[in-house]
Amino acid sequence: MTILAYDLGASSGRALLGRLNNGKIEVEELHRFPNDPVQVGDRLHWDILRLLHELKQGLLKVKHRGITLDSIAIDSWAVDFGLIGSSGELLGNPYHYRDHHTDGVMEQVVEELTKARIFEKTGIQFLPFNTIYQLAALKKADSPILRDAKHFLMIPDLLRYFLTGEMFNELSNATTTQLYNSVTGSWDEELIRAIGISPEMFGKVVQPGARAGSLRPSVCEELGIEPVPVYAAAEHDTGSAVAAVPALNPSFAYLSCGTWSLMGTEVHEPVINELAQQLNFTNEGGAYGTFRLLKNIMGLWILQECRRSWERAGVSYSFPELVKLADEAKPFAAFIDPDDPLFLRPGDMPARVAEYCLRTGQSAPEGAGAIVRCILESLALKYRYVFELTEQLSGQSFNGLHMVGGGIQNTLLCKWTANAIGKPVWAGPVEGSAIGNMVVQWIASGEIADIWEARKVIRESFPVDAYEPEQRAEWEHAYGAFKEKTGIAKKANTNIS
């Protein structure tokens, strides 16, 4: 059985073929393409029609190879969306979550509705770009697009609609909007109305693995292909990545590592209490009746943006070169909190790292190696902080950490994460989101029995690299310095008191 998984990240997208062969998964990258945002005036957009074009290119490559597909599914980043008018057409290019139109909006909405009220309904982490604040920003701006909108579709829902003509909202992405009530299992009409939006825009929510149509006749005619079933995967890429964690038992901690780092555990009921709200954890819907109790961490975005800044200045580094320079730099010279708002927007990230260090009474790192070392060490130490909070909130004690996603190709980060948490790190698979997308398709078709059989198949199909903790005394001392310099423990205690 051959299937196609589209895995769209914040910087690139892939079309990957998946095959089950003698109980092993085989993955082949068929098509890769950039996913660059587009600045138009003061606004930052996703180039959504370019993404549709690239999805079609993936289908053409399948056709040219003479491959017969059994199904297709899409996963992508969360929170962003498109609005469909009464004619069935898209009303404007979707905004990028890093656009400035949401500046200050979260604070206004929270003041009116209160954090407690929002969190007790949704269980979702407060982030300034959450869908609720994007929609509130459009309402505040009296957006004509919003006035004319009849249907709300998140990015994978939207692309799936373009391919099939069918409109569905998928659960794992719907929960990230901070408008879905995880207690009642439905859109929260009270919250939606409170920001001035019509609940009628929000459609039927389907579970990961639901059949969501077939390729529409116009697509088949354009490309010269036959109709193919289209499924809803766990369409938030983190939901798919967690489905691909090759854990051996139900109590496990994971880190989906890429542009964003998402750390947490899988639970069967959302953890919605005062401590979870104060620690700003989130409860996102997962595959097969699960929730992802996790925290967003800024992740390798900071490093990626540094690299872009150096390229704009005429100095090009490959990621392996940057990792080598970091390994040669002085250890524990300076620390940042990766989640400081200073690092959210695009811009001169090396200067921002220096600004943060100077603001917190540290010497600014000089040179690419020192800056990258500061970023990677700080990420590893922030992982420890969130790892311990995840244990506290879930009432579990984890014997190690599963890391999945493209970020695990940075072996230095994997090694330093093991050192920081003082427990083993198991890294793999790299294509976590795409593989999770695939296994949801195979479970839906009956090729794999359930998620635990899928995880067993994944573990037997892909290498998992183990990293044992080293230099415990040095990293323990560094953790204390990291908390002192960044003040993260003090911030948490202030929120809790």
- 299: alpha, beta or left, given left = phi > 0 and alpha = psi -120 to 50? left
The CA angle 454-459-462, to the nearest 5 degrees, is: 115
From the list 7, 237, 337, 339, the catalytic residue is: 237
- Taking the C-alpha atoms of residue 235 and residue 374, their distance in angstroms, rounded to an integer, is 33
3-state secondary structure 243-301: HCCCCCCCCCEEEEECCCEEEEEEECCCCCCHHHHHCCCEEEECCCCCEEEEEEECCCH
3-state secondary structure 131-142: HHHHHHHHHHCC
- Taking the C-alpha atoms of residue 130 and residue 80, their distance in angstroms, rounded to an integer, is 8
The residues, any chain, with a CB within 8 Å of residue 226's CB and separated by 6 or more, are 220
- Taking the C-alpha atoms of residue 259 and residue 261, their distance in angstroms, rounded to an integer, is 7
Q: 88: which 2 tokens?
A: 């069935």
Q: Is 237 a catalytic residue?
A: yes
- Taking the C-alpha atoms of residue 257 and residue 266, their distance in angstroms, rounded to an integer, is 16
- Residue 248 has phi, psi (to 5 degrees) of -95, -20
**Which DSSP category does 33 fall into?**
E
| Terminal CA-CA length for the chain | 55
- Taking the C-alpha atoms of residue 298 and residue 374, their distance in angstroms, rounded to an integer, is 14
- Please report how many Cα atoms fall inside a 13 Å half-sphere around the Cα of residue 251, on the Cβ side: 9
Strands annotated E in 410-449: 425-427
Q: 278: which 2 tokens?
A: 């104060």
Short-list 441, 457, 312, 297, CA closest to 382? 297
3-state secondary structure of 413: helix
Catalytic residues: 237
